[in-house]
A and B are shown apart, each in its own frame.
Chain A
Amino acid sequence: MQEGATDPQLYDYAPYRGRKKVVWPGGKTVAVWVAPNLEYYEIDPPAHPKRKAWARPHPDVVGYSHRDHSNRVSHWRMAEVMSKHGFPGSVSLSVALCQHHPEVVADGAARGWEFFSHGIYNTRYAYEMSEDQERTIIADSIRTVRNATGQTIRGWLAPALTHTPRTLDLIAEMGLDYTCDLYHDDQVQEVKVRSGQLASIPYSLEVNDHYGFFVYNMSGREYAETLIRQFERLAAEGEQSGTVMCIPLHAYLIGQPHRIGPFEEALRHIAADGRAWIARAGEIVDAWRAQA
Chain B
Amino acid sequence: MSLDPGYLEYPKRHHGYDHDLYAWSALHERAPVKWPQGSVAVWVCVSLEWFPIVPGGAFAAPGHMQTAYPDYRHYTARDYGNRVGAWRFLDALAKAGARASFATNAAVAERYPELVRAVLDGGHELIAHSTDMNGTIDSSLAANAERDLINEAMHRIALASGVRPSGWLSIARSQSFKTLDLLKDAGLTYCCDWVNDELPYRFNNGMINLPLNHELSDRTIIAVQQQSADSWAQSLEDAFDWLAAEAVATGSGRMLPIHVTPYIMGLPYRIAAFERLLERLAQRSECWFARGDQIVSSWEAQQ
A and B are interacting partners:
yes
A binding-site residues for B, Cβ under 8 Å: 42-44, 46, 48-49, 56-62, 64-69, 71-73, 76-77, 96, 99-104, 120-121, 124, 128-130, 132-133, 136-137, 213-214, 217-221, 256-262
Please determine whether A72 and B18 come into contact, CB atoms closer than 8 angstroms: no
A76 to chain B, nearest CB (A): 5
How far is B213's CA from A120's CA once the two chains are assembled, in angstroms? 28
Bound-state CA distance A260–B254 (Å) is: 15
A77 CB contacts on chain B under 8 angstroms: 246
A127 closest partner in B (C-beta):
B3
B16 CB contacts on chain A under 8 angstroms: 100-101
A-B pair number, CB within 8 angstroms: 157
Say yes or no for B195: interface residue by CB 8 A criterion: yes
Question: What is the CA–CA distance of A120 and B8 in the complex, to the nearest angstrom?
Answer: 9
Contacts of A104 in B (CB 8 A): 26
Cα A68 to Cα B27 with chains together (Å): 12
Chain B residues, CB < 8 A from A124: 7-8
The interface residues of chain A lying within 8 Å CB-to-CB of B18 are 42-44, 100
- Are A257 and B24 neighbours in the complex by a CB distance under 8 Å? no
A130 touches B1 (CB 8 A): yes
- Say which one of B43-51, B105-113, B169-177, B275-283 lies at the interface with A: B169-177
A110–chain B nearest beta-carbon distance, Å: 14
Task: Give the distance in Å from the alpha carbon of A77 to the alpha carbon of B245 in the complex.
Answer: 12
B138 and A262 contact, CB distance less than 8 A: no
Which residues of the partner chain A approach B239 to less than 8 Å between Cβ atoms? Answer: 256-258
Q: Is the CB of B7 within 8 A of A46?
A: yes
Task: Please determine whether A69 and B196 come into contact, CB atoms closer than 8 angstroms.
Answer: yes
Contact partners of B139 in chain A: CB under 8 A: 57-59
25 contacts between A and B (CB under 8 A): A48-B7, A56-B138, A57-B138, A57-B176, A59-B139, A59-B176, A62-B172, A65-B194, A66-B214, A69-B198, A72-B26, A72-B27, A73-B197, A76-B27, A96-B13, A100-B24, A121-B10, A128-B2, A129-B1, A213-B225, A219-B221, A219-B234, A257-B239, A258-B238, A258-B242
Q: B174 near A56 (CB under 8 angstroms)?
A: yes
Given contacts A72-B197, A219-B234, are A129 and B3 in contact (CB under 8 A)? yes
B268 is an interface residue with CB less than 8 A from chain A? no
Q: Is the CB of B174 within 8 A of A61?
A: yes
Residue of B nearest to A164 (CB): B1
The residues of B that contact A99 with a CB separation of less than 8 Å are: 13-15
Q: Which residues of A contact B193 (CB under 8 A)?
A: 61-62, 65
Chain B residues within 8 Å of A120, by CB: 10, 13
B243 at the A/B interface (Cβ < 8 Å)? yes
For residue B197, which residues in chain A have a CB less than 8 angstroms away from its CB? Answer: 69, 72-73
CB-defined contacts of B75 to chain A, threshold 8 Å: none
B231 interfacial contact with A, CB 8 Å: yes
Tell me the minimal C-beta distance from B103 to chain A in angstroms: 15
**Centre residue among A43, A71, A258, A262 by max chain B CB count within 10 A:** A258
Cross-chain contact B27 with A130 (CB below 8 angstroms)? no
Question: Which residues does chain A contribute within 8 Å of B6, judged by CB atoms?
Answer: 46
